[in-house]
Structure 1
């Protein structure tokens, strides 16, 4: 009986594998002639975000850590694709996990040098060795190579001139400098 059951299972699995190969092979063959595109980055500009207002510490909430709200009080951005000022109307709704990971969630308004308005949202992560992050928290100048601080950026605007931003994704490589965050933004092409 065991041998009969084993023969049944082997033949069933063989039939399934054969049918799967027939079903997958044409699809795999179709993909063999193409490859996903390689990532390309284009420098958009340098953002300097002012954080001069007091931080609101909410404490431990239902999220995975301590919630804090860091008001964005202004700033500027300059580069080959974007130039203008950051308006005093946004914040970082940040969560800091027990192991020190800061989960970044900012929303603020950009005023382009021609007066057009663009809403910017960033999401990101900041972490590093405890002693390094303690110095960052104190506002000391810390080599940004000693900790990780990266952002993912999306935009929204009604401007016809900047409508391309509605379909754009960008990444930022950031550092914290006292009462400011400075990052270089790169368009994902």
Structure 2
């Protein structure tokens, strides 16, 4: 069961896509994470620059997502985020996303499973949960509504 409301929402600013080209498993891409915000009932803070989203665009058009980045609470606690997921949809919707168009997130599937790691006692509770995020791709950012698996 998921929490009724998101425990927080992450809005991460994205850098330009760096494509490594087609490999035997699909098109490899790296998208740097330049910063952002974290807001919610259980956590407020910011996304620190320096993380990245490593993607493989599969033959069926789906994007396998693996992101690692750091968030910092308003109180200074740093938390490593490890996120693995999947984004797919009709080709015309994915083309609009690639152009940077604003697309209703109900028109495509974008979900990730999130784990957290921190040494700060104020955010220690994150070490002991698994979360699921419902995502939305924006022109130069991603928005993730993060729900705790209870």
User: Which band: TM-score by shorter chain?
Assistant: over 0.9
Unpaired runs of 5+ residues, structure 2, are none
Aligned to 1:50: 13
1:67 aligns with 2:28: yes
- Higher helix residue share: 1
Give the alignment's TM-score, normalised by structure 1.
0.76
Q: CA RMSD in A?
A: 1.0
Aligned counterparts, 1:148-187, within 5 A? 148-187=109-148
Aligned to 1:31: none
Question: Hey, which bits of structure 1, 4+ residues long, moved more than 6 A?
Answer: none
Aligned to 1:93: 54
SS of alignment partner, residue 68 of structure 1: strand
CA distance in 2, matches of 1:136, 1:88: 23
Structure 1 residue 46: deviation in Å?
1.1
CA distance in 1, matches of 2:104, 2:49: 28
CA distance in 2, matches of 1:165, 1:147: 28
User: Which of residues 63, 87, 90 in structure 2 aligns to 1:129?
Assistant: 90
The number of residue pairs the alignment matches comes to 149
Structure 1 residue 75: deviation in Å?
0.4
Structure 1 residue 163: deviation in Å?
1.2
User: Which of residues 73, 76, 80 in structure 2 aligns to 1:112?
Assistant: 73
- The structure number with the bigger radius of gyration is 1
SS of alignment partner, residue 82 of structure 1: coil
Aligned to 1:146: 107
Aligned to 2:149: 188
Unpaired runs of 5+ residues, structure 1, are 1-38
- Higher strand residue share: 2
